Amino acid sequence: MSVDVVLPCLDEAEALPWVLGRMPDGWRAVVVDNGSSDGSAEIARALGAHVVEEPRRGFGAACHAGLRAATAEIVCFMDCDGSLDPAELHRVVDPVAAGEADLVLARRRPTARGAWPLHARLANLELARRLRARTGAPLHDLGPMRAARRERLLALGLGDRRSGYPLEMVLAASAAGLRITEAEVGYRPRAGRSKVTGTLRGTRQAIADMRAVLAAPPPTLLVIAKEPVPGRVKTRLTPARTPEQAASLAEAALADTLATLDTVPAGERVLVLDGRPGPWLPSGWRVVPQVEGGLDVRLAAAFARARRDVPAFLVGMDTPQISGELVASPLSPAARRGVDAWFGPAADGGFWALGLARPELAASLLPGVPMSTDRTGEVLLSRMEAAGLRVRHLPELTDVDTAETADQVAFLIPGSRFGALWSALPVVSR
């Protein structure tokens, strides 16, 4: 079992030797220096830690930089101020390693008078109460020690870079269907003064950050697709592949897409389907039929299935190479501020993703847009800009349409259902 321990660090020279000296054998300490002026980074290096420099100030910025720098399967987060004992990290790691939970938070138990100031403890109790009500998870503490699998955390697309990061992680994990629990650990008096609850400014900023996270409900995820029936899907893959093979590839692409979106925080997942669902459909998806009409009309109707008071984000079944982080990051509470729409261009001139902060706008934006042309994306984008929408542009992706584009996409995701199947199927004709 490989474990990296992320230690956000701002002027912790006093505590670092004790903290690093009690790290479990074989686990790597990733100290993220967030602008220390007391030599913390040099001390950490001398003690054998892997040091990452994160110049952007903020607890969330340091934590996320450590997450991205980590390479182990399981990642822990822990304050490195001496208030938590690294020897107890196994309490949050063991349930994750055993497959019993996906995210484990430490429930702190003070070991000495003054370890946990009353005002901070009361605020934490109220926050934990709200978390239980929102997520249903049995939480009593938003503990700064926690553990999860790295890939599951990256797929959450966490966007807060200040004090809201720990709260966002829990809410996003719940919205992505992760199993969340807690484990008791001791809580000692910290070395030095807290940068958050130790100052009035820090306390106010933490409250503001957490309120912003709590006020942003998770989005609706929409997938528009056809039932993978031979002769009805991926017809441009023939004659390189038979109609039956093309349908199997379409099914694999759809299954990959749905599985990826299962890892993304969402209030609801809706499959807008032409046909009937099959064994490729995971649980938790609401299936609704497509309406009659052209693709422009069907896309607009898909957005009409979403809640009007939360953003809706739609993708098709032609881009199985999407990742959870690619979708989740621009939809995080911090990233969506000031954004009215999300536009993901496709290499063929269309689009692989469309998101709307107000889903009802689809009724005026989409009807009449020429579909399946090399100007589809251009026309839609010009309509959004003419409507005064602030559009966030996403990376360009290649749709799976032809044998050539299937080759390109399969090369990017060889371990996926689609990639493995494309490589395994024999070529009929080119």
Condensed to tens digits (0 to 9), the pLDDT of residues 67-98 reads 999 999 999 999 999 999 999 999 999 999 99
Position 390 scores a pLDDT of: 98
Position 201 scores a pLDDT of: 62
Tell me the C-alpha distance between 18 and 26, whole Å: 17
- The CA distances from residue 84 to 15, 146, 188, 217, 363, in Å, are 11, 11, 6, 32, 53
Confidence band (pLDDT; 50, 70, 90) for 382?
very high
Confidence band (pLDDT; 50, 70, 90) for 165?
very high
Closest CA to 62 of 161, 143, 193: 161
Q: For residue 57, give every residue at least 6 positions away whose Cβ sits within 8 Å of its Cβ, in sequence order, or none.
A: 10, 34, 35
Give me 196's structure tokens.
Answer: 């958050």
| Sheet with strand 74-77: strands edge to edge | 50-53, 28-33, 3-9, 74-77, 146-149, 103-110, 180-187
Q: Which residue reads 């990826």 in tokens?
A: 260
Q: What is the mean pLDDT of the chain?
A: 94
Q: Is 295 exposed, middle or buried (0-12, 13-18, 19+ CB in 10 A)?
A: middle
Strand partners of residue 273: 225, 289
Give 136-159 pLDDT, tens digit per residue: 999 999 989 999 999 999 999 999
- Asked if residues 52 and 66 have their Cβ atoms less than 8 Å apart, the reply is yes
3-state secondary structure of 287: strand
Q: Is 55 exposed, middle or buried (0-12, 13-18, 19+ CB in 10 A)?
A: exposed
Tell me the C-alpha distance between 247 and 270, whole Å: 22
Amino acid identity, residue 108? R
Tell me phi and psi for residue 160, to 5 degrees: -70, 135
- Asked if residues 153 and 169 have their Cβ atoms less than 8 Å apart, the reply is yes
Average pLDDT score over residue span 353-382? 97
Say if pTM beats, i.e. exceeds, 0.85.
Answer: yes
Q: Is the pLDDT of residue 132 over 80?
A: yes
Average pLDDT score over residue span 220-248? 95
Closest CA to 226 of 259, 278, 273, 258: 273
- Asked if residues 59 and 37 have their Cβ atoms less than 8 Å apart, the reply is no
Q: Is the pLDDT of residue 207 over 80?
A: no
Comparing 100-109, 195-204, 407-416, the range with the smallest average pLDDT is 195-204
Give 247-270 pLDDT, tens digit per residue: 999 999 999 999 999 999 999 999
Give me 289's structure tokens.
Answer: 């039929």
What does the radius of gyration of the chain's CA atoms come to, in whole angstroms?
Answer: 24
Torsion of CA 136, 141, 142, 144, to 10 degrees: -140
Residue 237: DSSP 8-state: G
Q: Is the pLDDT of residue 161 over 70?
A: yes
Tell me the C-alpha distance between 354 and 394, whole Å: 10
Four-residue CA torsion sign, 36, 38, 42, 44: negative
Position 126 scores a pLDDT of: 85
Q: Is the pLDDT of residue 195 over 60?
A: no
